Amino acid sequence: MEKLLLVLSGPSGTGKGTICKEILNKNKEIRCSISATTRSPRLGEINGVNYWFTSKKDFCEMIENDELLEWAEVYDNYYGTPIKKLQDMLKDNDVILEIDIQGALQIKKKFPNAVLIYILPPSIEELIKRLHDRGTDSLEVIEKRLSLAREEIAKAACYDYVVVNDKIELAVKKIMAIVIAERCNVIRNKILIRNISESRGESK
C-alpha cells in the first residue's frame, strides 16, 4: 500500500512540535522527514538523522534543478526538503513533516495524496495564554504571532483535517485515528480492491 505523507501545521503556540514528537515516539513505523541544510552540524548531530548536511553549492544546484519541495534562507543558511530523499523514505515508511502553511500547500501540489493536518488552539484566548506562559516572546512579538495566527487559521480550510489541541494525548489520539483512517482511504487501496475482485478462487 502507498505510504502516508502526513503534513502538520499550526500557529506557534499550538504545540505542534510536542505532538509531532509524541507521534514519532509512539509509532516506530512513522518517520520524521529530514531537511537538508547548509549550516554546519552541531555537536552530536548526524548526517541523515538530524539533517542532510549539504554544501551551499549543492544546495543551490538543488534549487536550480527544482529538486526541493520547499526551501528557505534563515540567518545566511539554507534549509529545505529534498524531494528525492522524501520519496526514498516514503518507499518503506509513513513520513511526518512539520511545516508552515505555504510549504504545506506546495507539498499538496507535488504530492496530491499528502494528508494535511492543521493543529488548532482551543481558542485565541488559550493561544494568547500559551504564548505568554512560555515567556520567550516580547509583547510585540506575541501581537505579531497572533495576527499571523488569525490569518493562518482562516486558511486551515484548505487542509484535509483540523485537530484542536486541547490536551496533547487527545490530539495525538486523533492524529493516530487519521493515520489509520487514511490507510483505509480508497485512493490508497485501488490495487487491493482490484486484486480481491479479480482473484480467481473456486467455490467448488
Mark the binding-site residues, compressed into ranges.
Answer: 10-17
161 part of the interface to its own copies, by CB under 8 A: yes
Considering beta carbons, is residue 99 or 115 the nearer one to its own copies? 115
Backbone φ, ψ for residue 157 (5° rounding): -60, -15
The region of 32-40, 76-84, 90-98, 174-182 touching its own copies under the rule CB under 8 A is 174-182
From the CB of 60, what's the least distance to its own copies, in Å? 37
Segment interacting with its own copies (CB under 8 A) among 20-28, 30-38, 106-114, 144-152: 144-152
User: Containing H/E element for 96?
Assistant: strand 94-98
Contact pattern from residue 180 through residue 199 relative to its own copies, giving x for each residue in contact according to CB under 8 A and a dash for the rest: xxx-xxx--xx-xxx-xxxx
Q: What does DSSP assign to residue 160? A: S
CA atoms lying within 13 Å on the CB side of residue 62: 25
For its own copies, which residue of 55, 136, 138, 203 counts as binding (CB under 8 A)? 203
Task: Kindly identify the residues of this chain, within the stretch 100-139, that bind its own copies according to CB under 8 A.
Answer: 117-118, 120-121, 123-125, 127-128, 131-132, 139
Looking up cell 481558542 gives 123
Q: What is the DSSP letter of 113?
A: T
CA 96 to chain centre: 5
Binding residues for its own copies, total number by CB under 8 A = 53
> What string marks each residue from 65 to 104 as x (binds its own copies by CB under 8 A) or -?
----------------------------------------
Backbone angles phi, psi at 30, to 5 degrees: -105, 130
Q: 480467481: which residue's cell?
A: 200
Asked if 106 and 11 count as a contact pair (C-beta separation under 8 A), the reply is no
Region at 76 (left for phi over 0; alpha for psi -120 to 50; beta for the rest): left
- Rounded Cα distance, 58 and 158, in Å: 33
Give yes or no for a contact between 87 and 109, defined as CB atoms under 8 angstroms apart.
Answer: no
16 binds its own copies (CB under 8 A): no
In this chain, which stretch among 20-28, 80-88, 104-112, 172-180 interacts with its own copies, using CB under 8 A?
A: 172-180
| Site residues (vs its own copies, CB under 8 A) | 117-118, 120-121, 123-125, 127-128, 131-132, 139, 142-143, 146, 150-151, 153-154, 156-164, 173-174, 176-178, 180-182, 184-186, 189-190, 192-194, 196-204
